[in-house]
């Protein structure tokens, strides 16, 4: 908190902060963000203002909270045991993110392996097809027997999605080079390769945006294009948001590297973001395989 | 807030001022208290909704409330009790007791601990405010099955976002508990010397992190289907409403174990204490808990036997479900074996623990009946299911929580509760809860569907009996609040040891436990631990 920098701490003990105002700010922020969104969804335009205020407040909270943690870290309040707590926190957070994507991958697999074939009359879906959706044949991609969202084309895997795959894989390499540079104490090299990682992420996002634009304007493929559009945009969209979040985190880390916050031995902030970036990378490989290629 | 420049590790005073103490706190005991008080408030709110339900069902016909409001009550009663009462109560107990049980100075991530709690009141405001919005609260049941849940009014967006906030809260709480248990144990507190409450919470926390994001995904798909034109649950677009049920119950089944495993842990603490014997089969208890957690991921579709799944899938889910009886049986037999030839005394925590063992087992048996596919075709969505999960959750989870509260209350407040009042609370609750829920088995077998405000006159007698039990049980919990209030203010001074047969680190600190404990890790003496000798 505001007074943290006036305190000292015995580094043989586990550091337990005394009071914090940021969580309640975070709660108000999230409440305003989602409460405003709920009002907006129910047709009350003022909700967007509340959401925006909540979002800004959330940024303030993150800035302040992480600021406190960084100051305490620089002052040496965190011993090895605290470091391990942070590592565990990040690992289990990433695991929770994996499970979140798991829900949407599960939906995709269920749709492709079971529900669409059943609608087409396979297995115990024979009567469903016969009486409810006669003439519907199960082929993927589909927007369902009622042709929800109209005719559409899909994005071929071996064009831009392949380029995006190579971009993200390269960014996994560049961040590893940056990590080695950090451990070797070469700040110039570290900053260069970290910047390269951010740039690769940025190009990836630009290509995704171009692809979305292309899908909406030229291919007729939208979020409303039945089950294909739903799974395609929700999976790639949530992934894109995570890439964006990862890039913001990498950018913060770039400035922290430039300010010399990290030492050869002690740079968990960098490692946490690197883990996150690799996680985003792995999710993309799943997307490339199951959404684009197959 | 510390404003002094001196080292702050060696003083023990609480923060001055209400906001500093409760709103900005990073102290595991204060946050534990907040969780427990919040849980009690939500227990009364959810209980009031149950009273509305039982009052309407007192007689056949529509007397008190509109059917729409009745449906809101069944939906909200479940959401409030699950996410507001049972889960926060266990997290509160975890906050209070895990650092004390493993010799840690606090939770691993104290600021995040504060956030985990303080998201809840905001989440529940979003959920409960729907009661007064146009169209009222959600009416589709807590499972929020589409298409029904998407056909209501304003409420669904609020409900979904409330669930998101509760999920964030649960995930952060679970991450904190895992980091605390794996990283904060005092030297010598090996994993297989940990108290079982800590063990069961370690496994529960893993379940929470694994499934709360899946629930978030499921309700996010509901949100986009409702407001953004996706077709996840719309067959016309190639989707399937049954998909929601699969994703939901992939969360939902581990969720019901999230609500019972910590209770197993509490019971495994209490029975040895009041039997004055070590827990029978400590390691078997740990492995049984882990087995139950593993099985919880591969049985979800037994909630959906009537939805139209291939026969092979139904058979698989039936057999997998029945497997759960094996590790659960290990636990029940171990509790009984712990009591075998022990020097038993029957203080209130022990009474609740015994009530738990017997009545939870009744709920387990009715669960086995429901696991049988052809039988479930008959039982599905009847009051038999309602009776089953209330035996598991009320006489299971809630009785477990109450046992834990009576057991550890002297450590929190420094006073012994009034034993006579505690026993009255136990017998009043136990008799009334059976009057409340046992007849519902018969109603269900006779064909009374759940979630309806009116019913065939053939069901009148058992419903009236059930409602009388319900009102009595509700009143017993008001009495419980009085017992707690009394014990928080005055009573016989509790010793550090509190219970003659209790073993473990939490009984080595003063009663009430000081604001900070174990700032330096304690030196562990295996003979003082309940499971210091891992051979038993």
Q: What is the pLDDT of residue B315?
A: 97
User: Please, which residues have CB within 8 angstroms of residue A13's CB and are 6 or more apart in sequence?
Assistant: A79, B9, B105, B519, B520
How far is it, in rounded angstroms, from Cα B481 to Cα B425?
Answer: 10
Which residues are bridge partners to B238 per DSSP? none
Residue A132 contacts B where some CB pair is shorter than 8 Å: yes
CATH 1.20.120.80 location in chain A: 80-293
Residue among B22, B33, B38, B106 flagged as catalytic:
B106
Which residues in chain A are closer than 8 Å to B22, comparing Cβ atoms? none
User: Across the interface, which of B111, B115, B227 has its CB nearest the CB of A41?
Assistant: B227
The residue with tokens 């396979």 is A122
b (16+ CB within 10 A) / e for A190-216:
bbebbbbbbebbbbbbeebeebbeebe
C-beta contacts of A160-165 below 8 A and 24+ residues apart: A160/A207, A160/A210, A160/A211, A161/A211, A161/A288, A161/A292, A162/A288, A163/A207, A164/A204, A164/A207, A164/A208, A164/A284, A164/A288, A165/A284, A165/A285, A165/A288
Query: How far are the Cα atoms of A208, B54, B130, B393 from residue B77, in angstroms, in the given order?
Result: 44, 12, 13, 13
Q: Is A6 exposed, middle or buried (0-12, 13-18, 19+ CB in 10 A)?
A: exposed
Q: Which two tokens stand for residue A137?
A: 């044949």
Q: What is the pLDDT of residue B13?
A: 67
Which 3 state secondary structure label does DSSP give B449? strand
Cα separation of the two ends of chain A: 51
Which 3 state secondary structure label does DSSP give A2? coil
Nearest to B31 by CA among B98, B126, B101: B98
Which residues in chain A are closer than 8 Å to B179, comparing Cβ atoms? 85, 88-89, 92
Q: What is the pLDDT of residue B12?
A: 58
Query: Is B77 an annotated catalytic residue?
Result: yes
Which residues in chain A are closer than 8 Å to B125, comparing Cβ atoms? 31
How far is it, in rounded angstroms, from Cα A9 to Cα A3?
Answer: 13
* Residue B284: count of CB within 10 angstroms of its CB: 16
b (16+ CB within 10 A) / e for A130-150:
eeebeebebeebbbbbebbbe
Chain A, window 153-182: residues with a beta carbon less than 8 angstroms from a chain B beta carbon: none
Q: What is the pLDDT of residue B14?
A: 80
Q: What is the pLDDT of residue A4?
A: 46
Which 3 state secondary structure label does DSSP give A156? coil
Which 3 state secondary structure label does DSSP give A144? coil
Under DSSP, the state recorded for A288 is I
Topology of the domain covering A1-78: Helix Hairpins (1.10.287)
**In this complex, do A223 and B212 lie within 8 Å of one another by their Cβ atoms?**
no
How far is it, in rounded angstroms, from Cα B371 to Cα B321?
Answer: 6
Which residues in chain A are closer than 8 Å to B154, comparing Cβ atoms? 42
Q: What is the pLDDT of residue A7?
A: 66
Q: What is the pLDDT of residue B297?
A: 98
Check if the beta carbon of residue B132 is closer than 8 Å to that of residue B207: no
Query: How far are the Cα atoms of A41, B84, B291 from residue B157, in angstroms, in the given order?
Result: 7, 19, 37
* Residue A240: count of CB within 10 angstroms of its CB: 19
> What stretches in chain B show pLDDT beneath 50?
1-11
> What stretches in chain A show pLDDT beneath 50?
1-5
**In this complex, do B520 and A132 lie within 8 Å of one another by their Cβ atoms?**
no
Residue A241 contacts B where some CB pair is shorter than 8 Å: no
**In this complex, do A234 and B178 lie within 8 Å of one another by their Cβ atoms?**
no
How far is it, in rounded angstroms, from Cα B24 to Cα B114?
Answer: 7
Under DSSP, the state recorded for B493 is B
Nearest to B271 by CA among B282, B286, B283: B282
Residue A41 contacts B where some CB pair is shorter than 8 Å: yes
Reported pTM: 0.95
Chain B, window 23-42: residues with a beta carbon less than 8 angstroms from a chain A beta carbon: 23-26
Residue B121: closest CA among chain A residues belongs to which residue? A27
Which residues are bridge partners to B449 per DSSP? B382
How far is it, in rounded angstroms, from Cα B257 to Cα B251?
Answer: 10
Query: How far are the Cα atoms of A155, A205, A207, A228 from residue A210, in angstroms, in the given order?
Result: 12, 9, 5, 19
The H or E element spanning position B120 is helix B120-128
**In this complex, do B236 and A148 lie within 8 Å of one another by their Cβ atoms?**
yes
Check if the beta carbon of residue B215 is closer than 8 Å to that of residue A100: no
CATH 1.10.287.70 location in chain A: 1-78
Residue B231 contacts A where some CB pair is shorter than 8 Å: yes
Residue A100 contacts B where some CB pair is shorter than 8 Å: yes
Query: Is B377 an annotated catalytic residue?
Result: no
Nearest to B42 by CA among B434, B427, B481, B355: B481
**In this complex, do B239 and A115 lie within 8 Å of one another by their Cβ atoms?**
yes
Q: Is B290 exposed, middle or buried (0-12, 13-18, 19+ CB in 10 A)?
A: middle
Residue A96: closest CA among chain B residues belongs to which residue? B209
Q: Which two tokens stand for residue A278?
A: 């690799």
Residue among B450, B451, B486, B515 flagged as catalytic:
B450
Which residues in chain A are closer than 8 Å to B224, comparing Cβ atoms? 223, 230, 234
Under DSSP, the state recorded for B524 is P
Chain centroid to Cα B333, Å, comes to: 22
Nearest to B358 by CA among B325, B386, B383, B391: B391
Query: Is B382 an annotated catalytic residue?
Result: no
Handedness of CA B507, B510, B512, B517 (dihedral sign): negative
Task: Give the class (CATH, top level) of A80-293.
Answer: mainly alpha
How far is it, in rounded angstroms, from Cα A8 to Cα B4?
Answer: 10
How far is it, in rounded angstroms, from Cα A201 to Cα A170?
Answer: 10
Q: What is the pLDDT of residue B153?
A: 82
Q: Which two tokens stand for residue B309?
A: 């799944």
Which 3 state secondary structure label does DSSP give B91? helix
**In this complex, do B232 and A230 lie within 8 Å of one another by their Cβ atoms?**
yes
Give phi and psi for B420, each to the nearest 5.
-65, -45
Question: A135 to chain B, minimum CA–CA distance in Å?
Answer: 13
Query: Is B430 an annotated catalytic residue?
Result: no
Check if the beta carbon of residue B20 is closer than 8 Å to that of residue B425: no
How far is it, in rounded angstroms, from Cα A238 to Cα B72?
Answer: 32
Residue among B54, B77, B390, B425 flagged as catalytic:
B77
Which 3 state secondary structure label does DSSP give B382? strand
Residue among B142, B201, B383, B408 flagged as catalytic:
B142
Interface size, chain A vs chain B, as Cβ–Cβ contacts under 8 Å: 254
Give phi and psi for B415, each to the nearest 5.
-120, 145
Residue A107 contacts B where some CB pair is shorter than 8 Å: yes
**In this complex, do A88 and B231 lie within 8 Å of one another by their Cβ atoms?**
no
Q: What is the pLDDT of residue B35?
A: 98
User: Across the interface, which of A23, A144, A228 has its CB nearest the CB of B114?
Assistant: A23
How far is it, in rounded angstroms, from Cα B58 to Cα B454?
Answer: 10
Residue among B74, B149, B328, B432 flagged as catalytic:
B328
**In this complex, do A229 and B230 lie within 8 Å of one another by their Cβ atoms?**
yes
Q: What is the pLDDT of residue B352?
A: 98
Query: Is B28 an annotated catalytic residue?
Result: no
Q: What is the pLDDT of residue A2?
A: 43
- Residue of B26, B154, B156, B231 to mutate for A, most A C-beta atoms under 10 A: B231
Which residues in chain A are closer than 8 Å to B178, comparing Cβ atoms? 88, 92
User: Across the interface, which of B214, B224, B238 has its CB nearest the CB of A102?
Assistant: B214
Query: How far are the Cα atoms of A83, B50, B318, B424 from residue A72, in angstroms, in the given order?
Result: 12, 49, 54, 52
Query: Is B508 an annotated catalytic residue?
Result: no
Which residues in chain B are closer than 8 Å to A35, comparing Cβ atoms? 126, 158, 161
The residue with tokens 């913001």 is A248
Check if the beta carbon of residue B466 is closer than 8 Å to that of residue B57: yes
How far is it, in rounded angstroms, from Cα B308 to Cα B374?
Answer: 13
Longest Cα separation, chain A: 76
Which 3 state secondary structure label does DSSP give A265? coil
HSE value, Cβ hemisphere, 13 Å, CA-based, for B416: 15
Is the N-terminal amide bond of B76 cis, ω within 30° of 0? no
Handedness of CA B209, B210, B214, B215 (dihedral sign): negative
Residue A28: closest CA among chain B residues belongs to which residue? B122
Residue B105: closest CA among chain A residues belongs to which residue? A14
**In this complex, do B126 and A142 lie within 8 Å of one another by their Cβ atoms?**
no
User: Across the interface, which of B110, B171, B231 has its CB nearest the CB of A227?
Assistant: B231
Query: Is B231 an annotated catalytic residue?
Result: no
Residue B134: closest CA among chain A residues belongs to which residue? A42
Residue B416, phi-psi category: left (phi > 0), alpha (psi -120 to 50), beta (remainder)? beta
Nearest to B398 by CA among B425, B365, B370: B425
Question: B298 to chain A, minimum CA–CA distance in Å?
Answer: 14
Residue B224: closest CA among chain A residues belongs to which residue? A230
Query: Is B328 an annotated catalytic residue?
Result: yes
């Amino acid at each position: 908190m505001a007074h943290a920098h006036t305190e000292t701490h015995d580094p043989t003990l586990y550091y337990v902060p005394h009071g914090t105002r940021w969580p309640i700010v975070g709660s108000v922020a999230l409440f305003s963000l989602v409460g405003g969104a709920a009002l907006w969804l129910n047709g009350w335009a003022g909700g967007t203002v509340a959401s925006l205020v909540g979002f800004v407040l959330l940024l303030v909270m993150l800035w302040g909270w992480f600021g406190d943690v960084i100051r305490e870290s620089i002052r040496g309040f965190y011993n090895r045991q605290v470091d391990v707590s942070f590592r565990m926190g990040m690992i289990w957070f990433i695991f929770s993110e994996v499970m979140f994507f798991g829900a949407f991958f599960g939906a995709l697999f269920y749709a492709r392996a079971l529900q669409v074939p059943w609608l087409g009359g396979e297995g115990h879906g024979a009567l469903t097809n016969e009486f409810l959706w006669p003439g519907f044949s199960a082929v993927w991609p589909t927007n369902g027997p009622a042709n929800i969202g109209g005719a559409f084309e899909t994005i071929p895997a071996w064009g831009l999605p392949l380029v995006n795959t190579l971009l993200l894989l390269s960014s996994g390499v560049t961040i590893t080079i940056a990590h080695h540079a950090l451990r070797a104490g070469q700040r110039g090299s570290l900053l260069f390769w970290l910047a390269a990682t951010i740039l690769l992420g940025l190009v990836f996002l630009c290509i995704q945006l171009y692809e979305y634009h292309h899908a909406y304007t030229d291919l007729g493929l939208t979020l409303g294009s039945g089950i294909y559009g739903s799974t395609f945009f929700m999976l790639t969209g949530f992934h894109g948001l995570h890439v964006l979040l990862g890039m913001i985190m990498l950018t913060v880390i770039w400035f922290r590297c430039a300010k010399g916050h990290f030492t050869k031995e002690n740079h968990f902030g960098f490692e946490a973001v690197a883990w996150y970036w690799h996680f985003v990378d792995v999710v993309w490989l799943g997307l490339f395989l199951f959404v684009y290629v197959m | 807030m510390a404003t002094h420049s001196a080292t702050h590790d060696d003083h023990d005073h609480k923060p001055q001022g209400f906001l500093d103490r409760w709103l900005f706190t990073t102290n595991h005991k204060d946050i534990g208290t907040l969780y427990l008080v919040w849980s009690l408030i939500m227990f009364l709110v959810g209980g009031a909704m149950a009273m509305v339900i039982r009052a309407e069902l007192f007689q056949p016909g529509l007397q008190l409330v509109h059917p729409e409001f009745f449906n809101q009550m069944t939906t909200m009663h479940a959401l409030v009790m699950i996410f507001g009462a049972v889960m926060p109560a266990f997290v509160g107990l975890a906050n209070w007791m895990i650092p004390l049980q493993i010799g840690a100075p606090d939770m691993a991530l104290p600021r995040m601990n504060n956030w985990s709690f303080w998201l809840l009141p905001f989440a529940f405001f979003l959920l409960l405010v729907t009661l007064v919005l146009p169209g009222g609260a959600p009416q589709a049941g807590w499972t929020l099955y589409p298409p029904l849940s998407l056909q209501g009014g304003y409420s669904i967006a609020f409900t979904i976002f409330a669930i998101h906030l509760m999920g964030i809260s649960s995930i952060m709480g679970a991450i904190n508990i895992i980091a605390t248990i794996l990283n904060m144990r005092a030297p010598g507190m090996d994993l297989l010397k940990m108290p079982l409450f800590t063990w069961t919470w370690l496994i529960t926390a893993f379940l929470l992190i694994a499934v709360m994001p899946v629930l978030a995904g499921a309700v996010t798909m509901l949100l986009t289907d409702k407001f953004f034109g996706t077709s996840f649950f719309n067959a016309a677009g190639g989707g399937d409403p049954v998909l929601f049920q699969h994703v939901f119950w992939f969360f939902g089944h581990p969720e019901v174990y999230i609500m019972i495993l910590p209770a197993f842990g509490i019971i495994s603490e209490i029975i040895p204490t009041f039997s004055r014997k070590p827990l029978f089969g400590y390691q078997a208890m740990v492995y049984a808990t882990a087995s139950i957690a593993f099985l919880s991921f591969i049985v979800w579709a037994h909630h959906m036997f009537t939805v139209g799944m291939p026969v092979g899938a139904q058979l698989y889910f039936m057999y997998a479900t029945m497997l759960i009886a094996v590790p659960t049986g290990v636990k029940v037999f171990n509790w009984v074996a712990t009591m075998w030839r022990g020097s038993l005394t029957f203080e209130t925590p022990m009474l609740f623990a015994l009530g738990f063992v017997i009545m939870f087992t009744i709920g387990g048996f009715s669960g086995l009946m429901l696991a049988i596919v052809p039988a479930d075709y008959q039982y599905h969505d009847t009051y038999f299911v309602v009776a089953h999960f209330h035996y598991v959750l009320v006489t299971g989870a809630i009785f477990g929580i109450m046992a834990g509260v009576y057991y550890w209350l002297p450590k929190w407040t420094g006073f012994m509760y009034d034993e006579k009042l505690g026993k009255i609370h136990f017998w009043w609750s136990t008799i009334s809860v059976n009057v409340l829920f046992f007849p519902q088995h018969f109603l269900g077998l006779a064909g009374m569907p759940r979630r309806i405000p009116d019913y065939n006159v053939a069901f009148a007698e058992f419903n009236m009996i059930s409602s009388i039990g319900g009102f009595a049980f509700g009143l017993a919990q008001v009495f419980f609040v009085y017992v707690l209030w009394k014990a928080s203010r005055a009573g016989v001074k509790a010793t550090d040891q509190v219970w003659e047969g209790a073993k473990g680190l939490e009984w080595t600190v003063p009663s009430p436990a000081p604001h900070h404990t174990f700032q330096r890790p304690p030196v562990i003496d295996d003979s003082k631990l309940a499971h210091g000798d891992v051979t038993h």
